[in-house]
Amino acid sequence: RVLDLGTGSGAIALALARERPAWQVTGIDNAAAALAVAEANRVALGLVNVRFRHGDWFGGETDRYHLIVANPPYVDAADPHLARGDVRFEPRAALVAADAGMAALRAIIAGAPAHLRPGGWLLLEHGSSQGAAVRECCVAALQEVRTWHDLAGCERVTGGRMA
């Protein structure tokens, strides 16, 4: 069982569901328009092991998962990169988070222990300068906390395992 928080177009949820047909994947997003795109993508791919629902992070979620993944908003509102490139066309709410971009990351880390099965993993995408702060948040709730680098060598994903 996998939970994809802030699923957006469903890219991560759908990739996991396609690669692992035995997995049951749930994608949650608070944007109805994004969920419509995710559902259209699911239908186009013919996947039956993934479902999407409307919600805010863990709101209303009572199940426990083996894996929780998230690519939440993590950009500071003052980040100059928001004014150039492809991100200009993205919904601002999908990119920007309060508290120097850390608010959504902190909320997910705080809620994860109640939704992870023993031994389950939380994996979070974050900004290249946020790795240390995300690790610091994770160590209070998770074990085996580590960060993975992207192809450019930047810290990009941090996660840990539930005891």
| Number of C-beta neighbours around residue 29 at 10 A | 25
CA distance 69 to 56: 14
Q: How far is CA 42 from CA 24, 36, 49, 52, 83, in A?
A: 13, 10, 9, 9, 31
* pLDDT reported for residue 130: 95
65, β-bridge pairs: 116
In the predicted model, is pLDDT for residue 87 greater than 80?
no
What tens digit of pLDDT does each residue of 15-37 get? 999 999 999 999 999 999 999 99
Residue among 48, 67, 54 nearest 4 (CA): 67
Domains in the chain, number: 1
Find out whether 125 and 97 touch, Cβ atoms under 8 Å.
no
Helix (H) or strand (E) holding 123: strand 116-125
CATH of the domain at 46: 3.40.50.150
CA distance 121 to 15: 17
* pLDDT reported for residue 37: 98
What tens digit of pLDDT does each residue of 47-65 get? 999 999 999 999 888 899 9
For 45-79, b/e burial (b = at least 16 CB within 10 A) is eebebbbbeeeebbeebeebbbbbbbbbbbbbeee
Could you tell me the residue range of the domain that residue 74 belongs to? 2-161
Q: In the chain, which ranges are continuous DSSP H helix? A: 11-19, 32-45, 103-111, 131-139
